[in-house]
Amino acid sequence: MLIMSVIIYLYYCYCLWTMARKRAFRWAWAAWVPLLNLYLLCRLAGWGVVLGLVFTALLIAPTVLWFHYGLKTSGFAYLMKRTLPLVLLLVALVVAVKLSVHMRRGWWFGILLVIPVVNYFAFWLMAFSVPRKYRFATAEPQAA
């Protein structure tokens, strides 16, 4: 199980690194650093520094809450455990749609990035394929 998790993480990092190089980010190497890659993902989606840090903090929050509150089922901890996953899903959907639009795909392609198992193929297509409407943009005009 651990080996499969490492392979999936390396696959995700490689695709993210490729997308950052396509967009000419100077610090594409950040795709290989565990929390910095989430920030890079937000920057690729066109979000600013503050929103990128907020997104990264939102993804870390459930782990912090779990370690701090344990399995308590009342009060603030219970409310956060029930609502934070929905907020994270909504934020992840927004980031995925903005990323697909910034990588010159349609907004619908971002929805594919949130669907389990399909997201592996969609992330690969986003990183390594050329969008159809830009595929022949460098072709020379034909002589008349």
Q: Is residue 15 part of a domain?
A: yes
Q: Is residue 134 part of a domain?
A: no
Residue pLDDT tens, the chain, 144 long: 889 999 999 999 999 999 899 888 888 898 999 888 888 888 888 877 777 777 777 777 776 766 666 666 667 767 777 777 788 788 888 888 998 888 888 888 889 888 889 989 988 988 888 766 655 444 454 554
What is the Cα–Cα distance from 143 to 131, expressed in whole angstroms? 26
User: What's the pLDDT score for residue 133?
Assistant: 60
What is the Cα–Cα distance from 57 to 61, expressed in whole angstroms? 6
Q: Is residue 143 part of a domain?
A: no
Q: Give the residue carrying structure tokens 């920030």.
A: 39
Q: Is 26 helix (H, G, I), strand (E, B) or coil?
A: coil
Q: Is residue 54 part of a domain?
A: yes
User: What's the pLDDT score for residue 139?
Assistant: 47
Q: Is residue 118 part of a domain?
A: yes
Predicted structure pTM score: 0.72
User: What's the pLDDT score for residue 3?
Assistant: 93
Q: Is residue 137 part of a domain?
A: no
Domain count, the chain: 1
Q: Is residue 121 part of a domain?
A: yes
| CA distances from residue 88 to 13, 48, 91 in whole angstroms, order as listed | 20, 18, 5
